[in-house]
Amino acid sequence: MTKPPNPGRGTRNPGRLDPQIFFWQPEEGARHAIPGAHADYELGEQGQSLCAQPVRVRAASESEWIAFPTCDKCWQAAKSLHGELKTARPRLL
């Protein structure tokens, strides 16, 4: 039996995702923010990022975490969800 597509709601805790909680996942050349906690999703499950990019939840390589920049649309949406953050956007030197 095939699971139906999941539009960004983890199967482990469907309908219980706090909109102010999200995790970052490298995908398609950028780190994207996905609503909910990483534990809310099964590996291989597809989620919807804050910028509306479909993102597959998976183990990412260290090089993806280092090389991929943070998606600016996800970063702006995350700041919006948490109000005006006083922290600077993380950057690699």
In this predicted structure, what is the pLDDT of residue 89? Answer: 57
Q: Tell me the whole-structure pTM to 2 decimals.
A: 0.71
How many whole angstroms separate alpha carbon 64 and alpha carbon 60? 6
Q: In which band, very low, low, confident or very high, does the pLDDT at 64 lie, cut at 50, 70 and 90?
A: very high
Distances (CA, A) of 89 to 56, 59, 92: 24, 24, 10
**pLDDT tens digits, residue range 16-37?**
556 668 899 999 999 999 998 8
CA nearest neighbour of 55 among 10, 12, 4, 16: 10
